[in-house]
Chains A and B, each alone.
Chain A
């Protein structure tokens, strides 16, 4: 027991250990899987990282290349949805996305720094003004072209549109292409009206801006001019005062000092005025530039009606520029004069200083600060030596100066020539400059005038052209109308002819086809008729054959019914009377002699009462046989009761086999009742009712009388059977004969 327990325990332990091991192993396996999966996890991470890197690199590369190549960007945007958003975010809007800008009219930058350049600029806007087109809108122009085409095709309303003889710009072509499509005249007129309104609005706005700019410019220019003039005046005043100061250098001290002071003030004034003038000039220049810019913008907008405004504005601007230049010239002239005066003044001062220095060198002990004083004031302050030396110095100076003068006189001519030449050059330069400026002014004036004239002429021409075009259009419509009418008639005649031809052709063809059809139809009808006849015959023969077949079939069926009737005998009762079946047979083949004879040959009893079946007869035969055996000895001669008893005894004592096979030939000693009965029974047992009936027919005496009914019955049955069989055979034969074997 203990051992068993121990064994059980061991088994349990073993099982446990096994389980544990089993559990361990899966754990180990899992761990192994875990580790392997951990390892594969690491590589999975690597794979994921590599994939992300790859995708990011692809995207980044695509973006970079798209930034470089806009076509590539376009194709990518088309292929991948929402990539355009990404590109926009990364690179900004696409360069190709902005619509094709109109090629701006090449107008150079405006500079109003120098007069010449200003002149050039005033020339250029005029030029571009001329070269500009007077088109309200590109669609309008295209409308003109379409309207011109419509004149031919439409109702003949000649829409008066500005002639398309105006030059087109390249940029307009693009926009024109977008707008190409035929519009109705009403639409055209509406569009024109709308565009006129727009134009007027634009013109008014432009005019307002121009005027504003001009007014501002004018104001400031006036200011500049006044400033300049004041500067000129100041300069002149200063130079005047300086001159006076120079001339009146011998005047009294206070006057001198006051003069110097005034001079200084005048200098200051001049400087201030000059500065102011410069500032004003700058401002004016700026304003002029601005106005130039506005005018340029106005020109860029290219509105037809604004031309006059632009022209007038330009003219004003030009005037202002001209005035400003003149004033500047004046200022410069004044300045140059002042410079001369200043130079003179300087010279004088330097000479004086020199003189003073010399005097100082001679008379060093004179008080300083007397430079400006006159000599006569000093006379009583100096000693005779000083005076002598002074006089000597003065003489020497005078000699020197005389020498200088002589030299100067000698070289006067040269100097004069040099100075003249210099002057000539300067004059030339100034002259050239003035001429140039005047030329430019003149040019600009002329250009402006020319432009004006051109505009006038253009307007006139345009008006004329319009009228001419209208006339032409009207003439064109008339002409086209006539031509069309004629063409219509011609074409009508031609087409009618064509139509008549075709119709006659078609008619002929139709008739021909009709005839063909009729012939075909007749042929078809004939064939069909023949076929129909054939079919009818065939059908008839078929019907006949079928009738025969049907009859045979019916006969067969009725014979079958008769046969079936024969089978209806059950037990000892006879069959049903065969009358109905026979009637059916008679009805089914009323005209068949054979069948009639046969059906007539049927025994009446079978018709009325039916026949007994073989089994019934067989069963009956047993009793008949027994009885026949009992009365085997009784005949005409022996028929007393005692004989009856004896025959009964005989039947008891005679042991014949119940069944004896009948011999093929009957011998006279076979005619014994017992033998006969045994033969008959044998036959009956073997189903040969006929032979049995024959044997029974050989019975004599009482046995015969006993078996008489049985015999009749058997005879009837046999007869009926025979007839039925014959009928069946006949029906089968007829049926087979009529059956059409396919």
Chain B
């Protein structure tokens, strides 16, 4: 809840997420490598890389989230606006 703990929490999430993703990527890589790519290493690396990248991206997004501006479309009908 404290603002100074926010970053810590973010980092925790980030790491957890990255670990998961990495693991998942790695696992998928392994799976794919095993299943589809005849035990080649490149799907593991690919998978883990993908996982890591996804994790990094998530992390970054999480850290950026306070500064992100969310626009909103406001529909304004011209016909109804009078000067």
Contact = CB atoms under 8 A, between A and B. Distances in A.
Interface string A624-658: 10010011001110011100100000000000000
Interface string A690-711: 0000000000001001111110
Contacts of B66: 705
A710 B4 contact: yes
Contacts of A640: 60, 63-64
B4 A641 contact: no
Interface in B22-77: 56, 59-60, 63-64, 66-67
A90 to B, nearest CB: 130
Given A636-B67, A639-B67, A707 B3 contact: yes
A422 interface: no
Contacts of A631: 7
Contact of B6 (A623, A635, A639, A706): A706
Contact of A705 (B3, B59, B60): B3
A620 interface: yes
A144 to B, nearest CB: 139
A639 B4 contact: no
Contacts of A641: 56, 59-60, 63
Interface string B8-33: 00000000000000000000000000
Interface residues of A, number: 20
B3 A706 contact: yes
A705 B65 CA distance: 12
B3 A644 contact: no
B56 A706 contact: no
B54 to A, nearest CB: 13
Contacts of B2: 620, 709-710
A709 B3 contact: yes
Nearest to B1: A709
Contacts of B64: 639-640
Contacts of B7: 627, 630-631, 702, 706
Contacts of A630: 7
B4 A707 contact: yes
A639 B3 contact: no
B60 A710 contact: no
A623 B4 contact: yes
B43 to A, nearest CB: 26
A708 B60 CA distance: 21
**Of listed A620, A641, A709, residue having the most chain B CB within 10 A:** A641
Contacts of A623: 4
Contacts of B60: 640-641
Contacts of A636: 67
Interface in A642-681: 644
Contacts of A702: 7
Interface residues of B, number: 13
A709 B9 CA distance: 15
A709 B63 contact: no
Contacts of B4: 620, 623-624, 627, 706-707, 709-710
A327 B67 CA distance: 199
A623 B2 CA distance: 11
A736 to B, nearest CB: 42
B9 to A, nearest CB: 12
A252 to B, nearest CB: 215
Contacts of B1: 709
A302 B9 CA distance: 158
Contacts of B67: 635-636, 639
A635 B64 CA distance: 9
Contacts of A706: 3-4, 6-7
A620 B6 CA distance: 14
A707 B67 CA distance: 16
Nearest to B3: A709
A651 to B, nearest CB: 13
A702 B66 CA distance: 9
Contacts of B59: 641
Nearest to B57: A641
Contacts of B63: 634, 639-641, 644
A480 to B, nearest CB: 133
A709 B2 CA distance: 6
A702 B53 CA distance: 24
A702 B67 CA distance: 9
Given A640-B64, A641-B63, A644-B63, A705 B6 contact: yes
A635 B66 CA distance: 10
Contacts of A709: 1-4
B64 to A, nearest CB: 5
Nearest to A706: B4
**Of listed B2, B4, B60, B66, residue having the most chain A CB within 10 A:** B4
B10 to A, nearest CB: 10
A399 B67 CA distance: 240
Interface of B: 1-4, 6-7, 56, 59-60, 63-64, 66-67
29 contacts: A620-B2, A620-B4, A624-B4, A627-B4, A627-B7, A631-B7, A635-B67, A639-B64, A639-B67, A640-B60, A640-B64, A641-B60, A641-B63, A702-B7, A705-B3, A705-B6, A705-B66, A706-B3, A706-B4, A706-B7, A707-B3, A707-B4, A708-B3, A709-B1, A709-B2, A709-B3, A709-B4, A710-B2, A710-B4
Given A635-B67, A641-B60, A710-B2, 17 more contacts: A620-B4, A631-B7, A634-B63, A639-B63, A640-B63, A640-B64, A641-B63, A705-B3, A705-B66, A706-B3, A706-B7, A707-B4, A708-B3, A709-B1, A709-B3, A709-B4, A710-B4
Interface of A: 620, 623-624, 627, 630-631, 634-636, 639-641, 644, 702, 705-710
The 10 closest A-B pairs by CB, nearest first: A709-B3, A708-B3, A636-B67, A639-B64, A641-B60, A709-B2, A624-B4, A627-B4, A706-B4, A639-B67
